[in-house]
Amino acid sequence: MALRYRVRFPAAVLAVIGAATFQLLIPRFLGGAIDHAASMLAAAGGEDATLIAAAKSALLGSALMVLGTAIMRGVFTLAHNYLAESIGQSFGYELRLSFFEKLQRLSFSYHDRIHSGDLITRGMLDIEGVRRFIESGVMRLFQLAVLIGLGAYLYMGQDLILGALCVSFVPFALWRGVVFRLRVRALWREFQERMSVLTRIMEENLAGIRVVRAFAAQKHEMQKFDDWQQRTLAPAIDMVRVRYFNTSMMTFSYFVAMGLVLWFGGLRVIDGQITVGELTQFLVFMTVLQMPVRQVGMVINGYARASVSGARMFEILDLEPAIRDRQGAPALKIGAAALAFENVSFSYQGFASEHTVEGITFAIEAGQTLGIVGPPGSGKSTIAHLIPRFYDVTGGRITIDGQDIREVTLDSLRAQVGVVQQDTFLFKTEVRENVCYGEPGAEDDRVVEAADTAQLHDYVAGLPEGYDTLVGERGLSLSGGQRQRLSIARSVLLTPRIIVFDDSTAAIDAGTELRIRESLKELNRSRATIIISHRLSSLMHADEILFLEEGRIVERGSHAELLAQQGPHLGRYRRLFDLQMGLARDNAHAR
């Protein structure tokens, strides 16, 4: 991915090479200046003022050359640091965009299995670990390679033994680096996984803060959070210990090598085999290597973190959504909006031995209303989720105007299918933006009309800022009924040809629900409507009602037909109706 930056990446590498090369020239210039000045002073015998002045001039020239070389090294270092950091930031931008885009496409079956806290950690900490790899890993590796490789070539060519002693610590450092990487990689994985749990705990606590306060569970939550804090701290401390232990050992081996250079080189100077300036070159070269040696630990740590973070990131990026468009799939062509379930069966992943729904068959078209009722867990919401293809059926097929929904594009399908769910999610933005979420920029009169249809306009109009009023996080500043009405308005605005109300009026009083139903009558003439509800008054007007039990249709017919069942064993629908009507009468008498 870094190689996509065809200008910045090569420029950064060249800048690293340039900075390292100029850094290696400094010892040569210093050694040459010392030898030159020493020879001139020796020739002057300490008395010839002309030669002394010439020696001073030579030293000044050498100092300026060293200064110029250092400036050039600084310029190249600035360039490669800037380029590497800019590539890293662009890299992070690309990864965050790719990661977020993949999350938008992954199927519900994936999101059912993984916690959002883990995804947040991967989208923040893991991306940061990969992003920093460019600057702290790749570029510093080039720097080390040039300093050690080119330096060894230059100085071993000048004196083979001293040059070899200068880099004698490298094999030991590489060995410790391999050991360090293997150990710290495992620690980084453990740390990142525990950070995911920690993020999950915090996210759940914030989402359920009202429950926590209502049950006075702050102490329990603090204990749980602190427990995982301690577990997360342990690998972090281990990483610090491993890192600095190995860095210390590498630094020790470096100073042993420097001591050998000083001792052996000093003997060579005493024997007259090399000059003081040449020995100075080797010692300054060792000094140049000191900082990169200290950074070896950081480089290896960067590699370990990037490999772990990259693996966790690409576990997501390499996933193929279970629900996706088939190659060359056409757009849905809508006509009569005739929806048909043909012997449909479905089971959630992980529950393959037991179907959630089985043998479901029905048909409905524009202008008709289908009601679905049944006990909790009977498969009502599953049917609602299968229509817009949030999941794929495991048996049978679903068609719209004769077209299998698996053979058309998801965008065209979901543009024609609206699902109003019981659990309404609202964004922390204005009422207007929440209503027109599916069609940003919709005209104000359409927003007002949709809200009016959902019986929400009068409430919104009475707010201090009207439709510009900010809705609190997840819509908690609104009542349950108001949130559901806003969700209905959001779906009505889009005018889908097939609309499913999945127990979406459970928190709305019967009078308001009746007014909403009356407002929707005109719209429902041009679309197929499915109403899922536990409250029979919400669906008794439907053309056909299905009673589900354990994923199967056990009764079907109109409200009147289902009530007409007689005999010693009354139908399930009739029993539910008698129960609800009896409760309604009891409540009326109580009032």
Q: Which tokens in the block code for residue 526?
A: 């041009």
Residue 567 pLDDT: 58
CA 533 to chain centre: 36
Q: What is the DSSP letter of 471?
A: P
- C-alpha to C-alpha distance for 573 and 373, rounded to whole angstroms: 8
Torsion of CA 32, 37, 40, 44, to 10 degrees: -160
Residue 41 pLDDT: 62
For residue 57, give Cα distances in angstroms to 41, 54, 278.
12, 5, 21
Q: What is the DSSP letter of 390?
A: S
Residue 409 pLDDT: 94
What's the full length of the chain, in residues? 591
Q: Which residues contact 37 (CB under 8 A, 6 or more apart)?
A: 55, 58, 59, 62
What domains can be seen in the chain, in order of their start residue? 2-317 (1.20.1560.10), 339-425+488-590 (3.40.50.300)
Q: Which residues contact 46 (CB under 8 A, 6 or more apart)?
A: 52
Question: Which among 454, 419, 420 is positioned nearest to 339, based on CA atoms?
Answer: 419
CA atoms within 13 A on the CB side of 315: 15
Positions in the chain whose pLDDT score sits under 50: none
Helix 169-207 with 218-270: angle, nearest 10 deg: 170
- C-alpha to C-alpha distance for 100 and 559, rounded to whole angstroms: 46
Residue 45 pLDDT: 58
Question: Which among 531, 560, 549 is positioned nearest to 372, based on CA atoms?
Answer: 531
CA 324 to chain centre: 20
Q: Which tokens in the block code for residue 188?
A: 């980084």
Residue 472 pLDDT: 67
Query: Is the CB of residue 283 less than 8 Å from the CB of residue 163?
Result: no
Residue 569 pLDDT: 57
Q: Which tokens in the block code for residue 428?
A: 């922390």
Type of residue numbered 314? F
- C-alpha to C-alpha distance for 528 and 364, rounded to whole angstroms: 6
Q: Which tokens in the block code for residue 135?
A: 């600057």
- pLDDT tens digits along 77-105: 899 889 988 888 888 898 999 999 998 88
Residue 566 pLDDT: 65
The sign of the torsion formed by the CA atoms of 116, 117, 121, 122 equals: negative
